[in-house]
Amino acid sequence: MAAEFDAVLIGTGHNALAAAMHLAAKGWRVGLFEQAPVPGGAVKTGEYTLPGFRHDWAAMNLSLFAGSPFFKTYGAELTSHGCAFVPVNRPFGSSFPDGSWAGVSTDMAETLAAISAHSAEDAATWKTLCAGFGAEAPHLFGLLGSEMKLRALAYFLFRTLRAKGVGATLDMGRFLLASPRAWLEQTFAHPHVRAMLGAWGMHLDFAPDVAGGAMFPYLEGMAGQAFGMVIGQGGADTVTRSMIAAITARGGVVETGAKVARITQDQGRASGLRLADGRHILASRAVIAGVAPGALRHLTGSTTPEFDGAMASFRHAPGTMMIHLAMDALPEWRAGKALQQHAYVHIAPSLDQMARTYQQAKAGLLPDEPILVVGQPTVFDPSRAPDGKHVLWVQIRMAPGTITGDAKGEIAAKDWETAAEPFADRALAILEAHAPGTKDKILARRIVTPAELEADNPNLVGGDQVCGSHHLSQHFLFRPARGHADGSTPIANLHLTGAAVWPGAGTGAGSGYLLARKLAGN
């Protein structure tokens, strides 16, 4: 006899888990089926180098989750199941080739001193921006948390006009359309300050000259100053483990190593799943697919030409490569010991360099000077490594999913199995230039290529950790396609969730929670 649930979900990414948890809380019996042996998608933690060294596989920053409407509702329950965070008071900084640095701390005086070392004018600008953030935040976060429906957007616009007036609302619209470079060059004088903030755009596929990206350097800068950052105690998987515990405590089922072969249908409605092992799982009320848009047709067959075309043409961002390092000690940053106290250190020297790296990766080239995000989580959470030791979380942005060549002309390999080691060496040589002696402190390393990221989690197409470009043509009402930003599909009872659905990437659980509230009626 086939197992039957009210809702079945494909995958155990944090959006699927959030959706399942809310539905379970509303009395739905839920079942989640994950093809990987470990749940969590990009939000998981493991001993990938040496015993006792715990590394976050992909996501490290959990600020969006900790500040999300989902966690506001279910935080107490998740905490009872072991979810725990570590606050970070120095969220990010940047190291520059001239031996200087800039960074943000929740201590305003400390941030102003770091920026003043480059530009007193920029320090004054920073102070002014921070003073106005409280007034701007409700509008920007309100937009990012809104349903992408015309009625919801009309209500958002009405409230914004009433609060800000016509002129200021138009200025906000112009800002939302601006590229990171346009806003940064208009706002800040010193190139290092611009680069410190511009690096955040690269986290969401917004190279300096891509329209619509100005909001993200602004928000990350202001939120970093106001709130700092949050990481998971013991690892990012604290959220995955606690959500699974909450779901199973309510009678839900979570299976790993359970690949879905087909979404079954009955008279035009999604009715369940056919697993690769032959089992049929029935769903009486909803099938929720936490898959990349391009994978959906393989599970459903054809739907409508318009929808199938939109899913097939969904565009992914360039990939990333991870290097997990078990360390005998922290890097000795050439710019000074102050950088040892920041959760993230960006090595992204200028807006021009970021733009060049992005274009190289988009063209399939291994960048000659990749951007590095160096995470130092054990500064704030020593439990992730043995006493006195550390882990480094090194994310390389950008890296091509499919290699066509090498921008530097040194690496001949065009497959990741062969190119991984020399490209990792290139990245670590950049780190060594900024923190001499780091190589001698490495106890073990584990390289995770874009190809391996996708093999582990098919949603990370080509190593794209944000599951799809957030450029304006594929954002807001158009994520993943016009008319389907709520996760709906042409097949009744079948819904999409995950980073490919509005509000997109990050650990905020937005798409899963919005969908579950819609399905449950609240």
| Average of per-residue pLDDT values in the chain | 96
Rounded to whole angstroms, the Cα distance separating 380 from 342 reads 9
Q: How far apart are CA 262 and CA 280, in angstroms?
A: 9
- Distance between CA atoms of residues 430 and 468, nearest Å: 28
State what percent of residues in the chain have pLDDT above 70: 100
How many Å apart are CA 331 and CA 113, to the nearest integer? Answer: 23
Give the mean model confidence (pLDDT) for residues 437-453. 98
Whether residue 208 is preceded by a cis peptide bond, meaning omega within 30 degrees of 0, is no
> Which tokens go with 5?
């649930």
**H or E, element range at 262:** strand 260-266
Which tens digits make up the pLDDT trace of 329-380? 999 999 999 999 999 999 999 999 999 999 999 999 999 999 999 999 999 9
Domains of the chain, start order: 3-45+58-86+235-314+468-520 (3.50.50.60), 92-227 (no CATH), 318-456 (3.90.660)
Sheet strands (E) in 147-204: none
- The torsion defined by the Cα of 361, 364, 365 and 366, in degrees rounded to 10, comes to 70
The H or E element containing residue 101 is: strand 101-104
Q: What is the DSSP letter of 492?
A: B
Residue-level pLDDT at 153: 82
Report the run of H or E that residue 327 belongs to, with start and end: strand 319-327
Give the pLDDT score at 304: 97
Contact 365, 358 (CB under 8 A): no
231: confidence class by pLDDT, cuts 50, 70, 90: very high
Q: How confident is the model at residue 1 (pLDDT cuts 50, 70, 90)?
A: low
Tell me the per-residue pLDDT of 308-334, one tens digit each, with 9 for 90 and over. Answer: 999 999 999 999 999 999 999 999 999
Coil vs helix vs strand at 501? coil
| 503 pLDDT above the threshold of 70 | yes
Is the predicted pLDDT of residue 159 greater than 90, yes or no?
Answer: no
